[in-house]
Amino acid sequence: MTRTRRRFLTGTGAVAAAGLAGCSSALGGGGTSTPSGEQYEVGHGDYQTTVNASSFPEKLYVYAVQSGWSNWPAIMSAFEEEYGVPLNDDDRSSGEALKHMRSRAQNPDHSAYNGGYTYGIIAKNEGFLTGYKPKNWDTVPSKLKTDDGEMTATRRMTTAVTYREDIYEERGLDAPETWEDLLHPDIMQDLALQTPTAAVGLATALSVNNARGGSLDDVQPVIDYYEQIQEGGAEFTDNFLAQFTKGEYATFVRYDYSGLNLKYNNGDVAEDKVGVALLKGADGNAGAFNQPYGFGMMDGAPNPEACKLFMDYVLSKEGQRKFLDAYVRPIRAPELEMPDEFPAQSTYDETEFQVDYGTMVEKQEDIIDEIERSAGL
Average confidence score pLDDT of the chain: 89
Residue 21 CB contacts under 8 Å (≥ 6 apart), including other chains: 81
The C-alpha atoms of residue 211 and residue 281 are separated, in whole angstroms, by 4
Q: Say how many residues make up the chain.
A: 377
pLDDT at 56 over 60: yes
pLDDT recorded at residue 361: 87
Taking residues 136-150, report their average pLDDT. Answer: 95
The C-alpha atoms of residue 75 and residue 26 are separated, in whole angstroms, by 12
pLDDT recorded at residue 30: 57
Give the model confidence (pLDDT) of 311-359 as tens digits: 999 999 999 999 999 899 999 998 998 888 988 889 999 999 988 888 8
Between 52-61, 146-155, 351-360, the lowest mean confidence (pLDDT) is in 351-360
pLDDT recorded at residue 149: 97
pLDDT recorded at residue 24: 36
The C-alpha atoms of residue 3 and residue 76 are separated, in whole angstroms, by 25
- Bigger pLDDT: 199 vs 11: 199
pLDDT classification of 110: cutoffs 50, 70, 90: very high
pLDDT recorded at residue 36: 57
pLDDT classification of 199: cutoffs 50, 70, 90: confident
Between the CA of residue 349 and those of 186, 208, 352, what are the distances in Å?
29, 17, 6
Domains recognised in the chain with CATH numbers: 6-156+293-335 (3.40.190.10), 157-290+343-375 (3.40.190.10)
Angle at CA 218, nearest 5°, toward 217 and 219? 120
Helical ranges in the chain per DSSP H: 6-10, 12-20, 72-83, 94-103, 117-125, 165-170, 185-188, 199-211, 220-231, 241-246, 256-265, 304-315, 317-325, 345-351, 357-375
Contact 90, 65 (CB under 8 A): yes
pLDDT at 252 over 70: yes
pLDDT recorded at residue 95: 87
Give the model confidence (pLDDT) of 288-313 as tens digits: 999 899 999 999 999 999 999 999 99
pLDDT recorded at residue 338: 85
The C-alpha atoms of residue 184 and residue 11 are separated, in whole angstroms, by 40
pLDDT at 285 over 80: yes
pLDDT recorded at residue 18: 30
The C-alpha atoms of residue 366 and residue 55 are separated, in whole angstroms, by 41
Taking residues 200-210, report their average pLDDT. Answer: 95
Give the model confidence (pLDDT) of 1-46 as tens digits: 333 333 334 333 333 333 323 333 345 445 665 545 799 999 999 9
